Each structure stands twice: as C-alpha cells, then as structure tokens.
Amino acid sequence: MVTFVDRVTLHLRAGKGGNGCVSVRREKFKPLAGPDGGNGGHGGDVVLVADPQVTTLLSYHHAPHRSGGNGGFGMGDHRSGAAGESLELPVPVGTVVKDTSGETLVDMIEPGMRFVVAPGGLGGLGNAALANPKRKAPGFALLGTPGWEGDVQLELKTVADVALVGFPSAGKSSLIAAVSAARPKIADYPFTTLHPNLGVVQAGDVRFTVADVPGLIEGASEGKGLGLEFLRHVERCTALVHVLDCATLDPGRDPLSDLDVILAELGAYPVPEGQTPLLERPQLVALNKVDVPEAKDLADLVRPELEARGFRVFDISTVSHAGLRQLTFALGEIVAAHRVEQAKTPAPERIVIRPKGSAKEFWIRVEGGTYGNIYRILGEKPVRWVQQTDFQNEEAVGYLADRLEKLGVEDELFRAGATPGATVVIGEGDGIVFDWEPSLKSVAELATAPRGTDPRLVQSSRRTTAERRERYHDMMDAKAEARAELEAERRAAKDWSAEGDE
C-alpha cells in the first residue's frame, strides 16, 4: 500500500461565475421604474496552502480531481448572486508547483504561504450595472465566465537541516531512529526505505531536522535505482552526512569507494539556480557499525585518508549508540552557524506587482483558409467579452460590437487587410466565428428600439438613392410607353372614323 507520495498531477477546475440578471422594477403607477437586475457571484478559487502538519501528497494521489464552487446567479431588486466557495488544498512545506510544460509557478517554502493556482470565473453584470444615460433600460445582462481549468504538477522537496546519504543498507534509517523519535522501517535488505523519513534531533540548545534519503547507487543522477526520485530531497539541506558501511560483505565495496560513488552522484545532480551546489555544502562522514570488530579495524584504517581529504570523521554505532552524541553536537554547531548567517542576510522584499493593463490588449493573426483569409482576434479582453455575451440576445451582441469597436478592433482589421464579409474568429480553436461588417457602429443612443433588440442587426429594407432613381426612371419610361400606346390608339380610331364618313 502506498503511504508516501512526493509527486502528483492535479486536475483542477475553478468555479464558474454566475450570470447577471435582467430585471425591470415595477411599482404602482410606475410600470417601468428602471432596471434592477443584480450581478452574478464570482466563482470560487482553488488555493494551495503550505501546511507544516502535512508531510505527503498521498491524498491527492488518490483524489487528483478538485474543483471550486460556482457563483450564484444575480436576481431582481439589485440582489447579487453568492460568491462560489473557494477550495483550499493543504500541501507540505517545500512543495514546488509546476505547469504541464515543467515551468515552476511557485515554491511553497514558507509555512502558511498561499497561492491561487486556479482563479475562479468572473460574475456577469446585471442590467442595472449596464445602464447609462444612453442605454437607460438594457434588455440584457452579461454571462459569468468559466473558471480556470487545467493540470498542475506538485513536487515535494523535503525541507530539512541535515540529509543522511549513503548506499542502501548503510544504516541511515537506523541512525535517524537512534538520534530522534522517528521510527522508519528497518530491515537487512537493500532499498528497505522507499521514501524519505524526517526526524527531529535535540543537540544541546539546538534543535534541527534530519532527513533519511533512500539509498543511492552508481548512476542515480542518471535515473538508476531510486536515487533520481529522491535526490531532490537533498536540495534544501544545510549539511550532508555520508553514512558509510564499514561492515559490508559485498565484494568490491569499501568505505572509500562508496564515498567516491556518492560524491560523483551528488556532483552530477544539478541544483536550481541560486542554490549552493551539493558538494560545496558542509559535509561530515559517519563510519557506521563500528560495534563489529572487523568494522572497527576498517574504520581505523580509512580514517586518516578521509581526514586528509578534509572531512570530519565520526565512528558511530546505531546499536550501541557510540559516537552519536559527538555527531549530533557537531551537526548542531553547523546548523546554528548557518542560521546565524541567514539571520544576518536581510530577507528579500516581496514585490507585489499589480499590472495596470497590457500595452497591447489584443492582436490579430491572419490565417490562410480554404475560402480566403481568416482573421483571428486574440487577447484576454476580447475572449472574456465573448464569454460574457448571450448570443441569443440581439442587444447583447450589439453591446459586444460596441466594446470591440471602442477597443480598436475594427481599425486593426482594416490594417490587417480585412474586407467586408471576411471571416473573423475570436479566441483560439473554434472560437466564435462571424462575418465582419464594418458598418456596425455604436448606436446605444437609439432608445426607440425594443429591449433585447438591436437595429443594427436587422436587415434594412430602405432603398438606396440609386435604387430610387432607377425605379423612378423605370416608372417614367412606363408612363411614356403608356401615353404612346394611347396616342396610337386615338389616331387609329380617328383614321377609321374618317374612312367611314367617305
């Protein structure tokens, strides 16, 4: 059964915004007292919260689909819809949030840190909020926009002061169990530890955390064994302790060769930009299992060479607890010195950027099509406005035309080479497709039209001047032909009468 998960993909859907309301207030002696439709409520966000009480991503491994609450619809009498309930997801401190392309969105390194990973949709405005001196009683309201929907990746990197690294069965789990209250699984076969274990160690006045990183083997930085999966848990540690097995029975292995392999893997592992490389951090060597006579002799043999390399060496035994006090106090000194240095360094100021608006709110991309060019309008505002438009309501469509015209979309279409009747698409994919008619100008002041209609969308039956002139000429020609026929009949009758008199 899985008990520890440090990488998971979340499928998130934020709440949808509620639709605005179309309503007109009616009172006695005032059948049309003005619009009073309320706004829709905003959709609920999905928020990640760094919680020190959470140590694994196991709950999201079993239930990766999460969603926020939808906003309520607006109502009459200026009643706004309820906001959707936001969903808070607690994650362990040290969780890195990435998008599907692998780009880091945020690093949750501080307890209580919050990050809105999926913002909810906006609630639509009611017709009361859309009223103005030129459009006093709108017969439409804006729809709510959908919330953000997509996938994010959560990757846990253990936050600990000290990391225990070494070959499988070197005694790392036994060491963390001996110096702390942690009780990891301990057995005499390789790769017993399948996930990092954390323990809290008290050394005098210093308290620090120790992480037991699962065993590394040669090639771990290239994906062999379990090392690549858990090397990232070493990134945030202040000091490293190389736990070397002096009582190994494997042929071709000894403490010095084990150390060389581990150092090579740590050096090959790339750390994020701005962090100290692993091999440049304080490192101690713990020669383990010295309670075995042969192991004690081997420790005495390799200690001079390790010290010559610049390592502080400690002979320890997790069974007899020999040397553990000296090791923990040495680690406490390193951690305390590091914390003092961190305290001297001023914390970087958190800069909050509130953009006032993009310099270019939209752009047009010309695409070749079977029946001519397609002009695709892209940008946050046009796409959001389309999502807010009820295309079953002519007045709402006219309002969208007003907004696009004021944004300068028509001018850009002219510059892009669009002609009347050209195919225009708003948004990526299928989007909203329509035939562009540049004659659609703002006529919001036409209050004579019924609510819910827009005269610009009605095909006009009024004849043009040329059509009236042509019809007038046709009528005059018809009259001339009629007079000519009557004159011919009159003359024929006169001639017949003269012949009869003779």
Q: Is 168 one of the annotated binding-site residues?
A: yes
How far apart are alpha carbons 29 and 295 in whole angstroms? 103
Q: Is 81 one of the annotated binding-site residues?
A: no
Q: Is 215 one of the annotated binding-site residues?
A: yes
Tokens, residue 490: 């009159």
Q: Is 319 one of the annotated binding-site residues?
A: yes
Q: Is 317 one of the annotated binding-site residues?
A: yes
Q: Is 411 one of the annotated binding-site residues?
A: no
* DSSP output for 2-55: -----EEEEEEEPPPPPPP---B--BTTBS---B-PPPPPPPPPEEEEE-TT--
Rg (CA), the chain: 39
Q: Is 67 one of the annotated binding-site residues?
A: no
Tokens, residue 26: 């009616």
Q: Is 290 one of the annotated binding-site residues?
A: yes
Buried b (16+ CB within 10 A) or exposed e, 433-458: eeebeeebeeeeeeeebebebbebee
Q: Is 172 one of the annotated binding-site residues?
A: yes
Q: Is 4 one of the annotated binding-site residues?
A: no
Q: Is 212 one of the annotated binding-site residues?
A: yes
Q: Is 213 one of the annotated binding-site residues?
A: yes
Residues 48, 115 contacting (CB under 8 angstroms): yes
How far apart are alpha carbons 159 and 451 in whole angstroms? 62
Residues 423, 433 contacting (CB under 8 angstroms): yes
H or E element that contains 328: helix 324-344
The three state secondary structure string of 206-259 is EEEEEEECCCCCCCHHHCCCCHHHHHHHHCCCCEEEEEEECCCCCCCCCHHHHH
Strand, coil or helix: 471: helix
Q: Is 214 one of the annotated binding-site residues?
A: yes
Q: Is 193 one of the annotated binding-site residues?
A: yes
| CB burial of residue 186 (10 Å; 0-12, 13-18, 19+) | middle
Q: Is 227 one of the annotated binding-site residues?
A: no
Q: Which amino acid is present at 349?
A: E
Q: Is 288 one of the annotated binding-site residues?
A: yes
Residue with tokens 């060769």: 257
| CB burial of residue 370 (10 Å; 0-12, 13-18, 19+) | exposed
Residues 252, 258 contacting (CB under 8 angstroms): no
Q: Is 166 one of the annotated binding-site residues?
A: yes
Q: Is 422 one of the annotated binding-site residues?
A: no
Residues 8, 59 contacting (CB under 8 angstroms): no
Q: Is 42 one of the annotated binding-site residues?
A: no
Tokens, residue 440: 């659609």
Best CA proximity match to 107, nearest among 340, 269, 220, 275: 275
Q: Is 194 one of the annotated binding-site residues?
A: yes
Q: Is 381 one of the annotated binding-site residues?
A: no
Q: Is 195 one of the annotated binding-site residues?
A: yes
Q: Which residues are annotated as a binding site for GTP?
A: 166-173, 191-195, 212-215, 288-291, 317-319
Q: Which residues are annotated as a binding site for Mg(2+)?
A: 173, 193
Q: Which residues are annotated as a binding site?
A: 166-173, 191-195, 212-215, 288-291, 317-319
